[in-house]
Structure 1
Amino acid sequence: MRALRLIAYHLERTGAATYRVQAFRRAAAVAERAGVDELRHRAETGALTGLTGVGRTTAEVIAQALAGREPDYLVELTGRDAPELTGGHRLRAALRGDCHTHSDWSDGGSPIEEMAETAAELGHEWIALTDHSPRLTIANGLSADRLRAQLDVLAELNRRIAPFRVLSGIEVDILADGRLDQDERLLGELDVVVASVHSVLRMPEREMTERMVTAVSNPHVDVLGHCTGRIVTGRGRPESAFDAKEVFQACADHGVAVEINSRPERLDPPRRLLRVAVELGCLFSIDSDAHAPGQLSWLGFGCQRAEECGVPADRVVNTRPADELLAWVSASGPR
């Protein structure tokens, strides 16, 4: 049922535990299989919890939805959802897609199709699926064989969900020497390659600078992901040290977009570095880095910060339709 899926969506936006989100998604699937007639009968007889996967809370949501009411739990959640944005609305309206998303093929929480369906509901025309590369074992990174299998899945999915498109991609780990954690020939077959540092984040500044410049100089790289690696919530994590002017100049020289990561715990790069990238003429990609459908709407956080720092819309690559984005990728690399 839609109410159960909406609750899962809003739970994801507020950073709720995955098991809570999955409980509502499982209940939604069970309710859809049961059908309205059986649900009504069970609601009238107090037997909704007799359905496997439906507990007391989800049963109450179902009963209230069947009665034509907006469920109390949904009302409560929407009242304490993510903070209201005070800016960035014009830029958000200009975005056509999202260059950085994850699915349950790596460390995301939902199937590719569910990510695509939610993106379409949000008004996207496309998303790039960028699951992790093999070195990141904690995130169930994709081996070359698994990535090739995913390409076959995407080809079939895109036939079914057209005109919406799921572009093939990867968030490839930047290794300590600047090489990329995936077969170069396979990278050349992908639509979008986001390159990010996930390890040895406290490398000395000179070495980190050389590492990142080497990576963005690779002709397969399209986007430099969450460049400082910082975490600004909870116990936090400090920024990696690197020469921002040198790294961003390399991005500008090689046509690599600097990611404006919209995750509330990242908000990367910091404003002072974002302004440096603007001054150097960089391209940008405002991305959700979503690991669940409810996180796809986080793009607004990145748009607000981009607007505050003077990022022009015509330098944001995901304001482009899919074909124009792919033309930019082809012009800037060897694909």
Structure 2
Amino acid sequence: MREVAFWLERAGEPTYRVRAFRRAAEAVASADDVAQRLESGRLTDLPGVGKTTAKVVEQAHRGDVPDYLRRLRSEAERPEEGRELRAALRGDCHTHSDWSDGGSPIEEMAETARDLGHEWMVLTDHSPRLTVANGLSAERLRQQLEVIAEINERLAPFRILTGIEVDILDDGSLDQEEALLAELDVVVASVHSKLRMDSAAMTRRMCAAVRNPHVDVLGHCTGRRVAGTPRPQSEFDADEVFRACRDHGTAVEINSRPDRLDPPRTLLRRALELGCVFSIDSDSHAPGQLDWLHLGCARAQECEVPADRLINTRRADELLSWK
């Protein structure tokens, strides 16, 4: 049922449907009489287990691939575009857990990343100003660092790198203590507010952020949304921002979320022409979304971004010594 939830998340299905399978998985895992319940037809008496999830459990218990799972696997798109780049990626620089606005625990996100073939994953939960996303205060972030250290002991050689998606404030400063940012492995800086700021002010704001020595990645640079509730891209002098990224060693994110796909191809090609490096990231908020990287890889390949310009083709130690 966890794999069912994975494919549902990957396909962008409604959250309530995903949660139904995760709740059912937890209920079945905690029950010590599943076989007896299946035999007597009482599996649906378990809280959170309905007819659909019960059928999945019944077929799996028999050793069969459940029909529901078989269908999801067959419907999953595996595009040819970007496969070479996808195979070259060793990790993901932008992920979220249930410490902020993600839907799953840190360890579950990490285990899924590992199972997808990653060597490492950067955990980048939100900073405190983004209260709607339960952003992490300095105190909570320090607590998270301790939790990550414990999980890394269990998951080695897979490695969770410490990080944050820090808000770029109106004046270009960052929404977290500078000393704490200096302790983190990777800092993704993103604009989440006043996205319609005039072009000159937005350019100054973004340039100030990417020049900060603690910032490693400029996240979803235009802030646009192309699905769900569409949102136009922010206006700024792209050449000036991308030159600042190039000159200060800040990677431009190729955001793989299907509702973002940011930056647009024209800006992606321009950043490439100007000599920027990139990070293809999932911006995942659930385990199944970690596999959205193929969308960013397809766009990168279409725009002829070479693998050696992608920071997440590097081993963890190489990434940490990059800046």
TM-score range, shorter chain: over 0.9
Q: Quick one: distance in 1 between partners of 2:74 and 2:152?
A: 35
1:113-124 alignment to 2 at 5 Å? Answer: 113-124=107-118
- After superposition, give the CA deviation of every residue in 1:7-35 in whole Å (9 maximum; x if it has no partner): 10011112122232122112112222225
| 1:53, distance to aligned residue in structure 2 (A) | 2.3
2:321 counterpart SS class: helix
- After superposition, give the CA deviation of every residue in 1:182-215 in whole Å (9 maximum; x if it has no partner): 0000000000000000000011111111100000
**In the alignment, residue 4 of structure 2 is paired with which amino acid?**
I
Aligned partner of 2:236 in structure 1 is 242
| 1:150, distance to aligned residue in structure 2 (A) | 0.3
1:63 counterpart SS class: helix
Q: Which of the residues 129, 150, 153 maps onto 1:156?
A: 150
Question: Does structure 1 residue 127 correspond to structure 2 residue 124?
Answer: no
Q: Give the aligned length.
A: 323
Question: Does structure 1 residue 55 correspond to structure 2 residue 50?
Answer: yes
Aligned partner of 1:314 in structure 2 is 308
Q: What TM-score results when the alignment is normalised by the length of structure 2?
A: 0.98
Question: Does structure 1 residue 169 correspond to structure 2 residue 166?
Answer: no
- After superposition, give the CA deviation of every residue in 1:200-238 in whole Å (9 maximum; x if it has no partner): 001111111110000000000000000000101133100
- After superposition, give the CA deviation of every residue in 1:244-295 in whole Å (9 maximum; x if it has no partner): 1110000000000000000011000000000011111101000000000000
- After superposition, give the CA deviation of every residue in 1:309-328 in whole Å (9 maximum; x if it has no partner): 11111110000011110111
- After superposition, give the CA deviation of every residue in 1:41-99 in whole Å (9 maximum; x if it has no partner): 21111011122221221111101111222212212323333x43231111100000000
Q: Which of the residues 27, 34, 39 maps onto 2:34?
A: 39
Q: Quick one: distance in 2 between partners of 1:285 and 1:308?
A: 15
Q: Quick one: distance in 1 between partners of 2:315 and 2:114?
A: 14
Question: Does structure 1 residue 16 correspond to structure 2 residue 40?
Answer: no
CA contact (8 A) 1:18 1:109 kept: no
Q: Which of the residues 181, 186, 189 maps onto 2:180?
A: 186
Tell me the C-alpha RMSD between the 2 structures: 1.0
Runs of 5+ unmatched residues, structure 2: none
Question: Does structure 1 residue 294 correspond to structure 2 residue 288?
Answer: yes
**In the alignment, residue 267 of structure 1 is paired with which amino acid?**
L
Identity of aligned residues (%): 69
Question: Does structure 1 residue 100 correspond to structure 2 residue 94?
Answer: yes
Q: Quick one: distance in 2 between partners of 1:292 and 1:314?
A: 28
Q: Which of the residues 233, 239, 250 maps onto 2:227?
A: 233
1:294 counterpart SS class: helix
Q: Quick one: distance in 2 between partners of 1:235 and 1:327?
A: 39
**In the alignment, residue 311 of structure 1 is paired with which amino acid?**
V
Question: Does structure 1 residue 29 correspond to structure 2 residue 26?
Answer: yes
Runs of 5+ unmatched residues, structure 1: none
Q: Quick one: distance in 2 between partners of 1:24 and 1:234?
A: 24
Q: Quick one: distance in 2 between partners of 1:145 and 1:248?
A: 33
Aligned partner of 2:257 in structure 1 is 263
Question: Does structure 1 residue 272 correspond to structure 2 residue 266?
Answer: yes
Q: Which runs of 4+ in 1 moved over 3 A?
A: none
Q: Quick one: distance in 1 between partners of 2:229 and 2:154?
A: 43
Q: Which of the residues 53, 70, 76 maps onto 2:65?
A: 70
**In the alignment, residue 99 of structure 1 is paired with which amino acid?**
C
